Amino acid sequence: MLTLKPNCERCDKDLPNHAADACICTYECTFCRQCVDSVLKNVCPNCGGGFAPRPIRPKVARRKGVSLVDQPASRERVITNFSDAEIRQFVQTIKHIPASER
């Protein structure tokens, strides 16, 4: 099941379940749209993959046991281990490669 991390791993902005600006990579690394667009250039600093909008988990169970109440978002905040300088250097080396070809 998708882990709904509560924050941007770079700037620590709150990204609750309903955040329309939450983005994830295939490994569920989570960043806000502003960081993805302005700093990361659609390059995950952890894996090198691209980003997609993070789905919003339903608040109400339309099917028994399938909702935010039944599977709550994580409360564990995650911050990347890489400095901004390391991130910018990494992004520079692969941002020109389309995400589908990384």
Classify residue 14: in a domain, yes or no.
no
Place of tokens 């400095």: 83
Classify residue 4: in a domain, yes or no.
no
Count of structural domains within the chain = 1
Domain that holds residue 89: 22-94
Backbone angles phi and psi of 91, in degrees to 5? -60, -45
pLDDT digits (tens, 9 = 90+) for 31-47: 999 999 999 999 999 99
Classify residue 70: in a domain, yes or no.
yes
- Inter-residue contact 70 to 58 (CB < 8 Å): no
Tell me, what's the pLDDT at 9? Answer: 98
pLDDT digits (tens, 9 = 90+) for 74-100: 999 999 999 999 999 999 999 999 999
pLDDT digits (tens, 9 = 90+) for 7-19: 999 999 999 999 9
Classify residue 101: in a domain, yes or no.
no
Mapping DSSP onto H, E and C, the string for 3-72 reads CCCCECCCCCCECCCCCCCEEECCCCCEEEHHHHHHHHCCCCCCCCCCCEECCCCCCCCCCCCCCCCCCC
Average pLDDT, the chain: 97
